């Protein structure tokens, strides 16, 4: 199994409920940077009076942590294998009385009460592969008390224009690729630009078309973009990228373009939230 497949949920019936292999859950909970930053977000938002909900609780690691501080925790998970593991972890935590574990679909779950803090980590690069935005939309419409806090709270998507050598040993294979440690880096040809921003405490569109203008730092053929995201977990707590979560990702352009140093050009991106990088379209458009 490649690392990329390992990190990508399997959608058996295209219903938005992706499952991960258990080994990826183990990788996620042992990613110190990911876990400690999300715990900091919980520390900043949860008090003894907080009603907290985690959508997609996986092993239960964050629901259990939140329960050590909150009044009540709702933890929702649909995947039967990891649900059973969460159940055991919650029993072993000594916080079972505070946590209501619900087997259900986060895109339509109903809770017995509205919540003060809504937590969900279904993040993927640019929110393309996983249902983060759709799940947060459901939460915003159905689950939050007025003024509730969402974790994460904001996401900024960035891109750089680049040239990637998609040829290996004479074999050409242009495809999207996560920049896990050890993967060959592209040649960066522009500064990083903000392509779009999402506040997760309000509803966001399921489909996106974004434009951003770039100026070339070097002459040459631009054939790809390198995507990254800055996730604001809570005030002053930001996550960028690890091998486990949202590694910088190269995506080939629909068409390569030869450009000169200092030339300006627009990047148009068309994609669906909970779509796929393969179906996302990235293309360059010259200024008129
Ligand atoms: C990236 S994992 C994060 C798990 C855990 N929150 C953590 O941070 O360690 C996302 C979790 O959401 C669950 N999930 C994805 N889509 C879901 C849906 N529509 N309904 C319920 N759970 C879902 C997956 O099964 C997985 O356990």
The predicted pLDDT at position 9 comes to 79
Among candidate residues 27, 54, 77, 130, the one labeled active-site is 130
Please state whether beta strands 220-234 and 237-239 pair in parallel, antiparallel, or not at all (unpaired). antiparallel
Residue nearest to atom 11 of ligand 1 (CA): 56
Q: Which atom of ligand 1 is nearest to the CA of 20?
A: 25
Assess whether the previous peptide bond of 152 is cis (omega < 30° from 0).
yes
Q: 39 phi and psi, to 5 degrees? A: -65, -40
Instruction: Compute, in degrees rounded to 10, the torsion defined by CA atoms 54, 58, 61, 62.
Output: -20
**pLDDT tens by residue, the chain, 288 residues:** 577 777 777 766 555 567 888 989 999 999 999 999 999 999 999 999 999 999 999 999 999 999 999 999 999 999 999 999 999 999 999 999 999 999 999 999 999 999 999 999 999 999 999 999 999 999 999 999 999 999 999 999 999 999 999 998 899 999 999 999 888 899 999 999 999 999 999 999 999 999 999 999 999 999 999 999 999 999 999 999 999 999 999 999 999 999 999 999 999 999 999 999 999 999 999 977
Backbone phi, psi, residue 90, to 5°: -65, -45
Q: What is the DSSP string of the chain?
A: --HHHHHS-B-SSSSS--B--HHHHHHHHT-HHHHHHHHHHHHHH--TT-EEEEES-TTSHHHHHHHTTSSEEEEEE--HHHHHHHHHHHHHHT-GGGEEEEES-TTT---SS-EEEEE-----GGG-SS-HHHHHHHHHHHTEEEEEEEES-EEEEEEEEEE---EETTEE----EE--TTSPPPEE-B--EEEEEEETTS---SEEEEEEEEEBSS-EEEEEEEEEEEEEEETTEEE---SSS---EEEEEEEEEEE-TT-EEEEEEEEETTS-TTT-EEEEEE--
Testing ligand 1's pocket by substitution, the residue of 64, 75, 77 carrying the most ligand atoms inside 8 A of its CB is 77
> How confident is the model at residue 288, as a pLDDT?
74
Q: Is 84 annotated as catalytic?
A: no
| Beta-strand relationship, 249-259 and 177-178 | antiparallel
Name every protein residue with a CB atom under 6 angstroms from any ligand 1 atom: 16-20, 28-29, 56-59, 61-62, 76-79, 82, 105-107, 121-122, 131
Residue 102 pLDDT = 98
- Ligand 1 atom closest to the CA of 29, numbered from 1: 9
Between the CA of 54 and the centroid of ligand 1 the distance, in Å, is 9
Closest ligand 1 atom number to CA of residue 16: 19
What distance in Å separates the CA atoms of residue 272 and residue 66, rounded to the nearest whole number?
31
Cα dihedral value 157, 155, 100, 15, nearest 10: -30
Pocket test for ligand 1, best of 24, 55, 58, 101 (most atoms within 8 A of CB): 58
Determine the atom of ligand 1 nearest the C-alpha atom of 119: 6
pLDDT at 184: 86
Could you confirm whether 121 is annotated as catalytic?
yes
Whole-angstrom distance, CA of residue 131 vs CA of residue 109: 14
Specify the pTM: 0.95
- The contacts of residue 168 (CB under 8 Å, 6+ apart) are none
């Amino acid at each position: 199994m490649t690392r990329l497949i390992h990190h990508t949920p399997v959608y058996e019936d295209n219903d938005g409920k992706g499952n991960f292999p258990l080994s990826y859950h183990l990788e996620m909970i042992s990613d110190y940077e990911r876990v400690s930053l999300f715990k900091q977000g919980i520390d900043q938002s949860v008090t003894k009076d907080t009603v907290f909900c985690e959508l997609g609780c996986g092993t239960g690691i964050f629901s259990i942590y939140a329960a050590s501080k909150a009044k009540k925790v709702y933890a929702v998970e649909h995947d039967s294998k990891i649900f059973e593991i969460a159940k055991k972890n919650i029993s072993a935590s000594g916080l079972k009385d505070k946590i209501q574990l619900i087997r259900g679909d986060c895109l339509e779950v109903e809770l017995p009460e509205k919540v003060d803090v809504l937590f969900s980590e279904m993040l993927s690069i640019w929110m393309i592969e996983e249902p983060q935005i759709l799940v947060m939309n459901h939460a915003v419409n159905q689950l939050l008390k007025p003024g509730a806090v969402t974790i994460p709270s904001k996401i900024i998507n960035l891109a750089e224009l680049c040239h990637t050598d998609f040829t290996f040993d004479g074999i050409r294979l242009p495809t999207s690729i996560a920049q896990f440690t050890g993967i060959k880096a592209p040649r960066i040809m522009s500064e990083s630009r903000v392509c779009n921003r999402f506040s997760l405490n309000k509803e966001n569109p399921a489909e996106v078309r974004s434009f951003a203008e770039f100026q070339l730092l070097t002459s040459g053929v631009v054939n790809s973009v390198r995507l990254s995201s800055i996730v604001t977990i809570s005030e002053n707590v930001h996550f960028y990228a690890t091998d486990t979560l949202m590694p910088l990702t190269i995506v080939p352009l629909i068409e390569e373009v030869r450009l000169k140093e200092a030339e300006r050009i627009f990047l148009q991106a068309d994609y669906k939230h909970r779509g796929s990088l393969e179906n996302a379209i990235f293309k360059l458009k010259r200024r008129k």
